[in-house]
Amino acid sequence: MNPNTQEPGPFSETYFHTPSPLAKKTFLYPVCLGHYYCDEEYCVARNNYDSFLMMLVVKGQGYAESLGEKAFRKKIGEKQLVLMDCYAPHMYGADSEMEFYWIHFDGINAGAYFRYLTEVYGTVLTLTDRQTNVFLHKFRMLLEALSSDQGIAENLLGYFVTDLLTFPSGLTGARTVSGSEAAQEDRFTRELGKAVSYMRQHFMEEITIEDLAGCVSVSPYHFIRLFKKQYGITPHQYLLSMRLDCARFYLRSGDKTVKEIAFSCGFQSENNFCVAFKKQTGMTPTNYRHGMETRELF
């Protein structure tokens, strides 16, 4: 794509932000953002613009194309949210009079955040009225923060960007689902949170997959599938990590023996604990306690 930009219409707003070196290493941050009114002449085509883009179309019709990892070419319209990788060639514009909010964002984990969002939700999402209002509020909060003459701390600005990228409950992605399917998926997401809370409160005890599936009122097989889809690991792996996190805390805090720590963190034996701990950390519990690294001898 050849770089090309057609200016937006009157009453449009654009704000730029220059992050500090600290912000670049620590937060998500806006590169620039705005609220645009434009006609069918409006078009942006770039080979790259080092950032990621989110657009919310409020009125009108347009188009968007990306040649990035999540390549797509789609028509876009009212109450649609668009996510684009602008590190790759991309283009977007209006087919009619169009109003939209937009933000170019970046940061230390922006790429991973973008890949997660597009993997779960897709690149173009159709929103309900309620969801549209949620995003409008978040965009306006960011615009107000950058347009204010009072200034804003970079950590708070990072919070606003992160909040914008935290999608509201009930947003089920780009695929077409019925209202009942969307409600069921939303319920499963909430119920899985209850299962994680159950683990957090009872990890020192024996927990079965039946106990966890009961939190969601589904079969154990279905629970494992849903959990792995949501969290990327199995319930067993999640519970094991939780127990080992607890063990690391006790090994560096207090004077409990390794055996006492093993049982207080939900392991059935000291040996099982030591094997699991070394497999995850590469160190024995005792060496971890004393800050010592182990090296395999060949």
Q: pLDDT of the chain along its 298 residues, tens only?
A: 544 556 687 889 999 999 999 999 999 999 999 999 999 999 999 999 999 999 999 999 999 999 987 788 999 999 999 999 999 999 999 999 999 999 999 999 999 999 999 988 999 999 999 999 999 999 999 999 998 877 788 999 999 999 999 987 667 664 444 445 445 555 666 788 889 999 999 999 999 999 999 988 889 999 999 898 888 899 999 999 999 999 999 999 988 999 999 999 999 999 999 999 999 999 999 999 988 654 443 3
296 assigned to some structural domain: no
Across the chain, where does the E strand assignment appear? Answer: 4-5, 13-16, 28-38, 43-46, 52-59, 61-66, 72-77, 80-85, 90-94, 98-107, 124-126
126 and 272 assigned to the same domain: no
Identify the domain containing residue 191 by its residue range.
179-232
Q: What is the pLDDT, as a whole number, of residue 241?
A: 94
Q: What is the pLDDT, as a whole number, of residue 169?
A: 66
54 and 190 assigned to the same domain: no
pLDDT tens figures, 118-134: 988 999 999 999 999 99
What does the angle CA 12 – CA 18 – CA 23 come to, to the nearest 5 degrees? 130
Domain count across the chain: 3
Model confidence, pTM:
0.74
196 assigned to some structural domain: yes
65 forms beta bridges with: 73, 91
Type of residue at 98: M
Q: What is the pLDDT, as a whole number, of residue 4?
A: 52
CA separation for the pair 21, 208 (Å, rounded)? 47
* Terminal-residue alpha carbon distance, the chain: 55
Provide CB contacts within 8 A for 92, sequence distance 6+: 43, 44, 55, 62, 63, 64, 65, 76, 82, 84
145 assigned to some structural domain: yes
Return phi, psi of residue 160, to 5°.
Answer: -60, -40
CA separation for the pair 282, 294 (Å, rounded)? 7
Type of residue at 51: S
63 forms beta bridges with: 75, 93
Provide CB contacts within 8 A for 117, sequence distance 6+: 83, 165, 167
Q: What is the pLDDT, as a whole number, of residue 291?
A: 83
Q: Which of 164, 190, 221 is the last residue of a domain?
A: 164
139 and 77 assigned to the same domain: yes
- Asked if residues 15 and 146 have their Cβ atoms less than 8 Å apart, the reply is yes
128 and 45 assigned to the same domain: yes
Return phi, psi of residue 68, to 5°.
Answer: -75, -165
pLDDT above 90: percentage of residues in the chain = 72
